[in-house]
């Protein structure tokens, strides 16, 4: 067995080699388990008889053979015959193996389960529906609660004028708590605002700098923010103020994720190959990526599937509205947000569209 054969056999990542007709040329041991098929049987068979997955996977393989560019798709669901479905990152790339057939007609597919790479990436798309259904409810609540609250506050203030200092403590409490509820309702109101983004060309690094400044100021413990920006990044297409809301909430959460000294990394990069399985491949491209990384406690397992839903929080004074608002804004921008978290590492990644070229007169 050659050195390369040994690596191929022992690689803990499922690897499949196919030709342009999707005929399997080889599979490694990990792929045998993933597809639930022995190498002997697999070779010569059509991959799709043994592999089921989202349409994006088929389209990406077709696209690879048409365009001959490496493709990476994240969060794609795939499984073999009678095996459990899992979310994977799939890399499709060219492989020169010196076969008699055209070497360009051969593709290497790598299936990397998300939970072993980054702790499980999850997009916000599913929860945006939940977010929207909460909007109607919150608007009704707003009306029903805000008006009587103004009356209660006014009445308490009027009463306090004829009370002793000792008794005033009670009316002050009524006023204070009412104000707290109004603040909460205002936040919910902002969440229910469905005005579409007023998109313009935006320098994302300006947005990130502003968000980082505000988040760091609001956080009492000391925060070290490491900016790993790609200065050549083109402008994004989005609503400046809404994007500040997005990153302010993400950076605030990162600050709150640790009670020790906090170190947060904000990284920007360009990756045109990153395809989103949930969006149509012919849909808008999202090549600009922003990562917010912290090394705090990680997202508690029991809420990780619901963090983009409104009112989900594990914080003492948390309202659980930050990420719901983020999800809503990202959805309205036709952008994408993914999260990966395990104890000691949490990454939120926002992928945005590039701004269109200005029209020349
Ligand atoms: N970087 C992170 N690390 C660990 N957990 C996080 C992180 N970001 C979000 N979470 C988890 O997701 C939950 C929801 O976050 P979200 O921002 O929606 O609400 P919140 O921060 O609790 O309250 P609010 O933002 O409304 O004040 C948080 O309570 C926390 O448990
Ligand atoms: Mg928050």
pLDDT digits (tens, 9 = 90+) for 135-183: 556 666 676 787 788 888 888 998 999 999 888 988 999 998 888 888 7
DSSP assignment of 311-345, as one string?
T---STT--S-HHHHHHHHHHHTT-EEEEEEETTE
Q: Is residue 63 part of a domain?
A: yes
CA of 264 to the centre of ligand 1 (A): 15
- Show which of 72, 88, 117 is a domain's final residue: 117
Cα–Cα distance measured from residue 131 to residue 128, given in angstroms and rounded to the nearest whole number: 5
Predicted TM-score of the model (pTM): 0.61
Ligand 1 centre to CA of 103 (Å) is 49
Atom of ligand 1 nearest to the CA of 325: 18
Clarify whether residues 65 and 142 are in a common domain: no
**Could you tell me how many residues make up the chain?**
361
Q: In a mutational test of the pocket of ligand 1, which residue from 264, 323, 350 has the highest number of ligand atoms less than 8 Å from its CB?
A: 323
- Distance (angstroms) between ligand 1 centre and the Cα of 216 equals 16
Distance from the alpha carbon of residue 349 to the mean position of ligand 2, in angstroms: 16
User: Are 57 and 185 in the same domain?
Assistant: no
Question: Is residue 128's pLDDT more than 80?
Answer: no
| Most confident range, picked from 94-98, 216-220, 234-238 | 234-238
The listed range with the strongest mean pLDDT (5-14, 273-282, 327-336) is: 327-336
Ligand 1 atom 27 nearest Cα? 318
Region 75-97: what's the mean pLDDT? 78
User: Would you say residue 123 lies in a domain?
Assistant: no
Please tell me the number of Cα atoms within 13 Å of 36 on its side-chain side: 13
* Closest atom, ligand 1, to C-alpha of 300: 31
pLDDT at 33: 81
- Ligand 1 atom nearest the C-alpha of 323 is 18
Among residues 152, 168, 192, which one ends one of the domains? Answer: 192
Strands (E), the chain: 14-19, 24-27, 51-53, 71-80, 86-94, 106-113, 122-123, 200-202, 223-228, 236-238, 262-270, 274-275, 288-294, 336-342, 345-352
**Does residue 162 share a domain with residue 75?**
no
Which of 124, 303, 318 to probe ligand 1 with, by most ligand atoms within 8 A of CB?
A: 318
* Ligand 1 atom at minimal distance to the Cα of residue 348: 1
Residue 150 sits in which domain range? 130-192
* Same domain assignment for residues 238 and 327: yes
Q: How many domains is the chain built from?
A: 3
From the list 52, 40, 46, the residue with the least C-alpha distance to 22 is: 46
Q: Which of 91, 117, 143 is the last residue of a domain?
A: 117
**152 C-alpha to ligand 2 centroid (Å):** 29
**The pLDDT value given to residue 291:** 93
The alpha carbon of 45 and the centre of ligand 1 are apart by a number of angstroms equal to 47
């Amino acid at each position: 067995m050659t050195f390369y054969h040994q690596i191929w056999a022992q690689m803990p990542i499922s690897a499949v080699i196919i030709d342009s007709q999707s005929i399997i040329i080889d599979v490694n041991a990990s792929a045998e388990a993933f597809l639930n098929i022995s190498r002997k049987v697999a070779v010569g068979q059509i991959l799709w008889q043994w592999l089921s997955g989202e349409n994006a996977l088929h389209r990406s393989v077709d696209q690879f053979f048409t365009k001959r560019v490496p493709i990476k798709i994240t969060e794609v669901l795939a499984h073999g015959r009678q095996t459990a479905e899992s979310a994977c990152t799939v890399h499709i790339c060219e492989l020169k193996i010196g076969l008699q057939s055209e070497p360009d007609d051969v593709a290497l597919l790598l299936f990397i389960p998300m939970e072993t790479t980054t702790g499980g990436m999850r997009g916000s798309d599913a929860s945006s529906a939940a977010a929207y259904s909460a909007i109607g409810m919150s608007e009704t609540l707003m009306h029903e609660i805000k008006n009587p609250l103004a009356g209660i506050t006014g009445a308490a203030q009027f009463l306090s004028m004829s009370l002793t200092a000792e008794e005033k403590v009670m009316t002050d409490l009524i006023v204070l708590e009412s104000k707290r509820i109004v603040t909460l309702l205002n936040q919910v109101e902002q969440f229910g605002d469905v005005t579409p983004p007023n998109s313009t060309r935006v320098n994302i690094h300006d947005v990130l700098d502003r968000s980082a400044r505000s988040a760091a100021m609001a956080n009492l413990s000391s925060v070290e923010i490491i900016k790993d920006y790609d200065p050549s990044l083109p402008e994004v297409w989005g609503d400046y103020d809404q994007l500040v809301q997005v990153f302010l909430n993400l950076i605030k959460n990162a600050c709150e994720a640790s009670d020790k000294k906090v170190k947060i990394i904000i990284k920007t990069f360009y990756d045109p190959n990153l395809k989103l399985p949930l969006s149509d491949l012919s849909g808008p491209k999202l090549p600009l990526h922003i990562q917010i990384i912290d090394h705090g406690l990680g997202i508690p397992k029991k809420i990780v599937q619901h963090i983009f839903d409104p009112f989900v929080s594990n914080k003492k004074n948390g309202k659980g509205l930050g990420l719901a608002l983020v999800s809503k804004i990202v959805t309205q921008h036709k952008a994408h947000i993914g999260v990966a978290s395990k104890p000691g590492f949490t990454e939120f990644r926002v992928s945005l569209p590039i701004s269109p070229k200005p029209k020349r007169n």
